């Protein structure tokens, strides 16, 4: 988050900058995850795309994963609690 920026505004800005899409923020997923040796916190929300088509502007690859393929990715340890919380949403 940038100085003075709320969490939802930061998420909308990051999705615009990194994916080229405008989103509508939904519900939180999982709990806070400390990263960077406790110097930062990872928080995740659901979102839907309101405008645009996702494309990689800052990353080498994008792909959609269903619940059955979610663990095909070599996730970082800090991501695993969020991935576990996301799985039931994808299987629904």
The answer to whether position 2 is within a domain reads no
Is residue 92 over pLDDT 70?
Answer: no
The answer to whether position 69 is within a domain reads yes
Number of domains composing the chain:
1
Residue range 50-77: average pLDDT?
Answer: 89
Q: What is the CA radius of gyration of the chain?
A: 14
The answer to whether position 1 is within a domain reads no
The answer to whether position 41 is within a domain reads yes
The token pair that represents 86 in the structure block: 């996301």
- Indicate the SS3 state at residue 48: strand
59 band by pLDDT with thresholds 50, 70 and 90 = confident
- Which tens digits make up the pLDDT trace of 16-32? 999 999 999 999 998 88
Give the residue numbers spanning the domain of 31: 7-91
**CATH code for the domain of 34:** 3.90.79.10
């Amino acid at each position: 988050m940038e100085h003075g920026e709320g969490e939802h505004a930061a998420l909308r800005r990051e999705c615009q900058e990194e994916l080229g899409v405008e989103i509508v923020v939904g519900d939180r997923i999982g709990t806070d995850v400390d990263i960077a040796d406790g110097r930062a916190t990872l928080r995740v929300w659901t979102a839907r795309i309101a405008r645009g088509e996702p494309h990689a502007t800052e990353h080498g690859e994008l792909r959609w994963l269903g619940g059955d393929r979610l663990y095909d990715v070599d996730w970082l340890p800090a991501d695993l609690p969020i991935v576990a919380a996301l799985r039931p949403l994808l299987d629904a």
